[in-house]
Each structure stands twice: as structure tokens, then as C-alpha cells.
Amino acid sequence: MPKSKTVVITGAGGFIGGHLAAHFLSAGHKVVAADIKPLDEWYQVHRKAQNHAGPVKGDCRDFKVCRAICRGADEVYQLAADMGGMGFIENNKALCMLSVLTNTHMILAAQEAGVDRFFYASSACVYNADKQKNPNITALKEADAYPGLPEDGYGWEKLFSERMCRHFREDFGLNTRVARFHNVYGPEGTWEGGREKAPAAICRKVIAAVVSGKHEIEIWGDGTQTRSFMYIDDCVKGINLITHSGILEPINLGSSELVSINQLVDIAEEIGGVKLQRRYKLDAPKGVAGRNSDNTKIQQYLNWEPSTTLRAGMEKTYRWIFDEFTAKYTAKTAHKSSISTFTKGSHPIPGDGFNPESKFMDTWTQGIPAGYGGAGGGSGKKRAGKAVGAKRGK
């Protein structure tokens, strides 16, 4: 992207969106950032961006909001979604499908604004479940999304929205690009509360054991499940490369380094300098038995693939979560880090406890998912959103 452009990033208050905003700002582009969360819950706040935050200005289910943020834009990065790790998407299938409102209104607004590029964040959860039944998985090729048998709720919505991107390009000429992210991790991501994915969750659990002195860890499933995990810097680079490429088909954006969850725990223990007693929670959310990214196509198209090793990425992620954790918990309160904050609207996550007095009950009635705050309702989980611009004097 040579000259300065105006880029819109939805879900900018979240993990990947926060990093993507930082990337485009440092490259000298104008960033319009939108997120339904109030600004003080954003994972990264970039003062130089034009921030649209909260359930009135930043809710991309609202077509008026979408039209306002897309006006005059050159590119749109559609990342906003109600999502999380297996603990969330297995317990909130309907909520995950409501992201179709955000995707539909944003693609309509982008089309109306005549943007040059519309990037859509799809997911490896679109892949046919029957092809992911064995931990010794054959890496998934793009064609393995069909015949369609995606992850319930979340995966179906992602596959539908992929098709919408294709038809908006074919029928209306909107330049859409789609990447299927494979489990992304890194600093400035979700590490507690129930939406976190395995890398952050395992880091948090090892850190809780180190801080509390209680040397045991609860692992969901039997630990033989396999995945690949992509470091955030590779994800941001891949988004940029794919958006500015001629790749018209949905493409894998993921690491091809396959590990079992037990091996993921080994890595976190080695970083933390501990060996823990492992307890396996077999009734906890497990997702598929095995999943890996086949990077043949992205190599052919871009002569590049995600390459940060899991060990290197986990080191940075563990260190960041350790700082966040110890700023919030002590040896005595460390156990509270594993409580999910879901309201009664979703089944409590087995093994992670359920907070019946969830302070988010009131937001539930307003249809604003728990954890995003809500006008008048209890605010989402407070997190010190890092005011990057202010801190770095940008």
C-alpha cells in the first residue's frame, strides 16, 4: 500500500484489530477504528486513530454506524465478531451467528462507499468436521471446507459470510479478500474471562500455578487434541499481503507447525520453569480432534507463510500475560483468574466455574453480549486498555 490511505478496522478494540491498527498507523495511514466495547475496555487504544467506541458509536450491527465509518474509506478490514475460544463458541452458538449482522451491514456500507478493498476475517472453523476427527490430521487444504460441515454456529456464520464476499465481488464488483485464520495468539489478546483460546489459557493456568504455588493444571480434553497456532505478527503481515494480492479465493492464514495440547503445556511449563500435576477435564469444550493449515496455496501465491515458531511466540505471550496477571492477582487470589464471566444465557464452562452473580446479567436483557458493556448495564470486564498513542508520545 504505497501512499497514505484511509483504512477502516472493525473489532479494533480486540486482539487482532488492535495490532492491525498499530501496523497501519506506523505505516502512515489514517485509521478509522470501531468497536462495540467502550474505549476503556479496548485492548489497545491508539490516540492517532479515529476511534468509534461503545454500543452507540461503535456497534457495527447498526447500518448507520457502518455507513458513517466507511464514508471516504479506501479499505475496510472486517474483524468485528462475537467470538472466542472453544469455551465461548461452543456455549454461545446463536450469539456467534449474530455476527452476520455486522458482516452484512459492513459489506453493504463498504460497497456503497466504493472502497478499493474489503478484507474479511474468516476462520479455520469453516472446515468440514469430518476431516478433523483424528489428531494425526492431514493439514487442511482450502477445498476441505466443502462439502459444508463447519463448526456449529460460529463456523456456519463464517462460511456464509465468505460466500457473501464472493458474490459481492462477482455481482457488484467489490474487491473482497478472505483469509481463514488458524488460532491466532500473542500479547494484547484475551487471556481470561472465558473467551480466551488455548495458548493464552494454558499460559494463564501455568502462571496461576507458579504464583499460587499450587503446582497443578486443568487441561480440557485428554491433551491429545492437535492444533497449529499462528503468532500475531504473522497474522498481521498475512492480512496485509493477502488484501493487496490478487488472491480471490478464501485462503489459509495459519501456522503449519502441528502440536498437541499436551505439547503446548510442555512449552508453557518450560517457560515458567515448573512441572505441574495434569488433570484432564474430559467434559470440557474440545472442538475438533485435529486441525492444521496446509500452506501450499499461500506459498504458491505469495512465496511466504507464517513462520514464527510456537516456542518463540509462546515466550513473548507468556511474559506479557505474566505481567498482566501479577498486576491483578496475588498468590491468594490467583484461582479467581479461571472464572468465566458468562451470564446464565450460556451454559457454564465445565471446569472453569460459573459466576452465578455475573455482573453482566443486566446487559444480557439489552441484547448486548456480556463482556461488551452496555448503556446503563454493567460494564464489561475492566481492563487497562493500553493508550498506545499517549504512552509512546505519538
Q: 352-365 as b/e, with b when 16 or more CB fall inside 10 Å?
A: bebbeebebeebbe
Q: Provide the grid cell at 394.
A: 505519538
Q: Site residues for ligand GDC, window 253-292 (CB under 6 A)? A: 261, 284-287
> Which does residue 110 touch among ligand GDC, ligand NAD, none (CB within 5 to 8 A, set by kind)?
none
Instruction: Report which of 64, 63, 57, 55 is spatially closest to residue 33, judged by C-alpha positions.
Output: 57
225 binds ligand GDC (CB under 6 A): yes
Q: Which is nearer to ligand NAD, 82 or 257 (CB)?
A: 82
Determine the interface stretch with ligand GDC among 61-69, 105-113, 122-130, 301-309 (rule: CB under 6 A). 122-130
* Residues forming beta bridges with residue 277, ordered by sequence position: 216
| Contact flag: residue 334 with ligand NAD (CB under 6 A) | no
- x/- string (CB under 6 A) for ligand NAD, residues 123-142? x-------------------
Q: Tell me if the bond preceding 285 is cis, omega within 30° of 0.
A: no
Site string for ligand GDC, 87-106 (x = CB under 6 A): x-x-----------------
Query: Which listed residue (66, 73, 86, 236) binds ligand GDC by CB under 6 A?
Result: 86
Which residues, at least 6 apart from 10, have a Cβ–Cβ distance to it below 8 Å?
17, 34, 35, 60, 69, 76, 77, 78, 79, 80, 102, 106
Residue 181: CB minimum distance to ligand GDC, A: 6
Residue of closest CB approach to ligand NAD: 14
For 364-371, which contacts have Cβ atoms below 8 Å and span 24 or more sequence positions?
368/36, 368/55, 369/82, 369/92, 369/95, 370/341, 370/342, 370/343, 370/345, 371/193, 371/195, 371/341
Applying CB under 6 A, which of residues 29, 31, 38, 58 lies at the interface with ligand NAD?
58
Encoded amino acid at 270, one letter? E
Q: Which of 92, 102, 132, 243 binds ligand NAD (CB under 6 A)?
A: 102
Check if 154 is active-site.
yes
The yes or no reply on residue 85 touching ligand GDC (CB under 6 A) is: yes
Q: Quote the least distance from Cβ 185 to ligand GDC, whole Å.
A: 8
Pick the binder of ligand NAD from 5, 23, 25, 59 (CB under 6 A): 59
Estimate the crossing angle of helix 99-113 against helix 63-70, to 10 degrees: 40
Spell out a b/e string for 26-38, using b for 16 or more CB atoms within 10 Å of the CB, else e.
eeebbbbbbbbbb
Q: Which range in 8-16, 47-55, 80-88, 140-148 contacts ligand GDC by CB under 6 A? A: 80-88
User: Site residues (CB under 6 A) for ligand GDC?
Assistant: 83, 85-87, 89, 123-125, 181-183, 196-198, 201, 219-221, 225, 227, 261, 284-287
